């Protein structure tokens, strides 16, 4: 039987990870043991305020050593906050792997009421235009419904010279970052005329406008990235690989003229 002691928890930002430190006392009569991925493990669930599971299985944390009756142990747990921001219950529970959660057999878990904040502290998006200034790109950025910034950004979007984002592009990117996504990629449309445009349209068909997709086949092209993330390259454009912190935002549209559909060399 566990007795949960003090727990230190950092401020929770939607979709972001942090470390929780929790103390456990073995208040039962049998020694606790972990056997690698088996045996007794600590994990957590995220619940809404009605008790519905939002995230059921958190990562497992094994015991660092056998814990005899009356002994205490401190464990560090990597916690990923749920999306979107809001009020949740973070429930720590012990699991006898492949058998049962202790709460399922009458052992009380440890609940914390947690206010999950937006992923970004402020709606501040900067833009890097790879290939240098371009009048069409500058005009499209000036027409954004949510202005871009130059200093103290919370996220940085990557464009190429000649790219023309739609007027609500910055707003949709910031909405997705605030919701909890670290990397957000827009939809792409090849513009221009003739064979070159048709060739680029085929090349970019997978990134056509549509809905939001956190399981996009990826990678994201022309991504917007929160502080700490850096772009790679794919299709000779700034890119970011898909993962559990990436979203294809098919409603945010960027037009790529044929002449700027490739990263300048």
Euclidean distance between CA atoms 84 and 81, whole angstroms: 9
Query: What residue numbers bound the domain in which 18 lies?
Result: 2-116
Residues 106 and 167 in one domain: no
Q: Is residue 265 part of a domain?
A: no
What does the pLDDT look like over 51-94, one tens digit per residue?
Answer: 999 999 899 999 999 999 999 999 999 999 999 999 999 999 99
Mean pLDDT of 236-246: 96
Residues 81 and 168 in one domain: no
Residues 174 and 56 in one domain: no
Mean pLDDT of 254-260: 78
Residues 78 and 165 in one domain: no
What does the pLDDT look like over 52-62, one tens digit per residue?
Answer: 999 998 999 99
The last residue of one of the domains, among 116, 133, 158, is 116
Mean pLDDT of 155-184: 98
- The pLDDT of residue 260 is above 60: no
Q: Is residue 102 part of a domain?
A: yes
Q: Is residue 227 part of a domain?
A: yes
Position 98 confidence tier, pLDDT thresholds 50, 70, 90: confident
Structural domain count, the chain:
2
Residues 130 and 208 in one domain: yes
Q: Is residue 50 part of a domain?
A: yes
Model's pTM, two decimal places?
A: 0.90
| Residue bearing the bigger pLDDT, 184 or 34 | 184
Query: What CATH number is associated with residue 6?
Result: 2.60.40.10
Residues 95 and 145 in one domain: no
Q: Average pLDDT, whole number, for the chain?
A: 93
Residues 187 and 218 in one domain: yes
Residues 129 and 252 in one domain: yes
- pLDDT for position 264: 38
Q: Is residue 86 part of a domain?
A: yes
The last residue of one of the domains, among 116, 146, 165, is 116
The rounded Cα 262 to chain-centroid distance in angstroms is: 28
Residues 142 and 227 in one domain: yes
């Amino acid at each position: 039987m566990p007795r949960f002691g003090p727990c230190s928890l950092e401020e929770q930002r939607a979709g972001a990870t942090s470390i929780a430190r929790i103390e456990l006392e073995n208040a039962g009569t049998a020694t606790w043991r972990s056997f690698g991925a088996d045996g007794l493990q600590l994990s957590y669930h995220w619940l809404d305020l009605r008790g519905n599971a939002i995230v059921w299985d958190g990562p497992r944390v094994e015991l660092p050593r056998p814990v005899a009756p009356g002994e205490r142990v401190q464990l560090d747990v990597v916690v990923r906050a749920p999306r979107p921001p809001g009020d949740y219950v973070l429930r720590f529970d012990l699991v006898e792997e492949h058998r049962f959660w202790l709460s399922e057999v009458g052992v009380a878990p440890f609940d914390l009421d947690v206010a999950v904040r937006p992923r970004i502290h402020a709606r501040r998006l900067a833009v890097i235009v790879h290939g240098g200034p371009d009048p069409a790109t500058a005009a499209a950025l000036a027409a954004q419904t949510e202005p871009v910034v130059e200093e103290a950004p919370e996220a940085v979007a990557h464009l190429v010279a000649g790219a023309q984002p739609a007027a609500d592009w910055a707003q949709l990117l910031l909405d997705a970052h605030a919701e909890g996504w670290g990397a957000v990629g827009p939809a792409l449309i090849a513009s221009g005329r003739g064979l070159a445009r048709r060739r680029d349209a085929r090349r970019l068909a997978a990134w056509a406008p549509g809905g939001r997709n956190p399981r996009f086949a990826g990678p994201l092209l022309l991504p917007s990235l929160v502080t700490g993330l850096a772009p790679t390259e794919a299709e000779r454009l700034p890119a970011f690989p898909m993962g559990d912190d990436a979203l294809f935002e098919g409603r945010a549209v960027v037009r790529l003229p044929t002449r700027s559909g490739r990263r300048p060399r």
